[in-house]
Amino acid sequence: MDASIADYAEHLTEADMRLISEVAPVPGGTAALLARDPAAIEGLLADPRVFEAVFGPAGAADGLAVIVSPFLAFGVAVHRAVADLSDMDYLPERSGYRQRVPVFDTPELRDFLGSAERRLFLAELLASFTRVASGRYRVRSGGRSRTRRFSELDPVRLAGMLEEMPEESRPGLYRRLGDVTLFLVGVFPDYAAANALGPVDAGRLLRAARVPFGDRDGLAAAPALDLLEYLGARWYRAALAAAPVRTASLAVVGDVAGRFRQARRVLNHLGDRYLLGPDSPWFAAPAR
């Protein structure tokens, strides 16, 4: 059994299993038996009956969505995107804040979603941001102890933690920096574009990502989405390079690093069509 498929059963709740088995019954497909058949689970995530049970007949997040786990909702949305893109020639692309132009790149996006590992990666990424960690940590500077704040939705402050973190603990933070960057440019691209990094913050991120000095000026002047795409892919590659053991999940991170733009474009589609809106139970817009 593909490990990525088995992971679906580990994420879903008993209530998720009951809903799936009730709205899209299969022979012998009780919730308990379905939990032992992960391959069947992934197939059912693409079932239109499961999609309608989670998102409603209008295909948009509503009150029904809160009765299931976020992971089930995101897994269903990712699989729905496979069907969406099969009938589409282009998707709108952000060319600036609230500016969009059609881009005929759906074959590349279909290829991205053709991987079970990448589909699972996107569902896990989205689920990981339904609760955002934030807090304070202490640093010593000039013989004094100071308190700094961090938030998982603030890549500049999150990257600042690298200075205080021992080398062996950095792979996980590199990975999370890649995650937050992909999440922001994917789900909240207008926010990312409108809150373009200033020269100081851009410089801090480029230094933290160990970008060669000669490349920094050109990158710092790039459009916000382009700069964040570059940094997100670089964070993922740093996580893979720094990890003492390359696990299967890290291998997917390295794969997505090389397809970062396609991952971002798929998330743009999911956010526009299924995940955001006034009644969305999952994500609030990041604070300015």
- Is residue 66 assigned to a domain? yes
261: nearest Cα among 202, 190, 204, 185: 185
Per-residue model confidence (pLDDT) at position 64:
47
Q: Are both 264 and 157 inside the same structural domain?
A: yes
In a domain, 71, yes or no: yes
Question: Which residues does 139 contact at the CB level (< 8 Å), separation at least 6?
Answer: 145, 146, 147, 148, 163, 164
- Residue at 139 is within a domain: no
Q: What is the pLDDT of residues 182-199, one digit of tens each?
A: 999 999 998 888 776 778
pLDDT at 188: 92
Of the chain, the percentage scoring pLDDT greater than 90 comes to 41
Q: Over 60: is that where the pLDDT of 142 sits?
A: no
User: Which of 1-5, 211-215, 261-265 is predicted with the least confidence, judged by mean pLDDT?
Assistant: 1-5
Q: 173, 158 in Cβ contact below 8 A?
A: yes
* Domain span holding position 67: 3-128
pLDDT of residue 185: 94
Does 102 reside within a domain? yes
Rounded-to-integer distance, Cα 106 and Cα 265, Å = 9
Select from 128, 163, 178 the last residue of a domain: 128
Do 17 and 54 lie in a common domain? Answer: yes
The CB-side HSE value for 236 (13 A sphere, CA atoms) comes to 25
85 with 192, same domain? no
Angle between helices 224-242 and 213-220 (to 10 degrees): 140
Closest C-alpha among 58, 56, 84 to residue 68: 56
Any domain includes 285? no
The average pLDDT across 113-119 equals 94
DSSP the chain: --HHHHHHHHH--HHHHHHHHHHS--TT--HHHHHT-HHHHHHHHT-HHHHHHHHTTTTS--GGGGGS-HHHHHHHHHHHHHHHHHT-S-EEEEEETTEEEEE--HHHHHHHHT-HHHHHHHHHHHHHTSS--EEEEEEEETTEEEEEEEETT-HHHHHHGGGGS-GGGHHHHHHHHHHHHHHHHHH-HHHHHHTPPPHHHHHHHHHHTT--HHHHHHHHTS-HHHHHHHHHHHHHHHHHHH-SS--HHHHHHHHHHTTHHHHHHHHHHHIIIII-STT-SS-PPPP-
Q: Is the per-residue pLDDT at 53 higher than 80?
A: yes
- Would the pLDDT of 136 be above 90? no
Nearest to 186 by CA among 239, 229, 233, 123: 229
Q: Are residues 220 and 258 in the same domain?
A: yes
Percent of the chain with pLDDT over 70: 83
Domain count, the chain: 2
Check whether 176 has a pLDDT greater than 90: yes
More confident residue, 242 or 196: 242
Predicted confidence (pLDDT) per residue in 58-76, tens digit: 665 544 444 789 999 999 9
13 lies in the same domain as 47: yes
Of 70, 95, 128, which closes a domain?
128
Of 95, 128, 161, the residue that ends a domain is 128
Q: Which of 114, 246, 271 is closest to 187 using CA atoms?
A: 271
What would the pLDDT profile of 72-92 be if each residue is shown by its tens digit?
999 999 999 999 999 888 888
Find the radius of gyration of the CA atoms of the chain.
20
Q: Has residue 286 been placed in a domain?
A: no
pLDDT tier, 1 (very low <50, low <70, confident <90, very high otherwise) = very low
For residue 146, the model assigns a pLDDT of: 67
> Does residue 162 share a domain with residue 122?
no
Q: Is residue 143 part of a domain?
A: no
- pTM score, whole prediction: 0.88
Please report which confidence band the pLDDT of residue 134 belongs to, taking 50, 70 and 90 as the band edges.
low
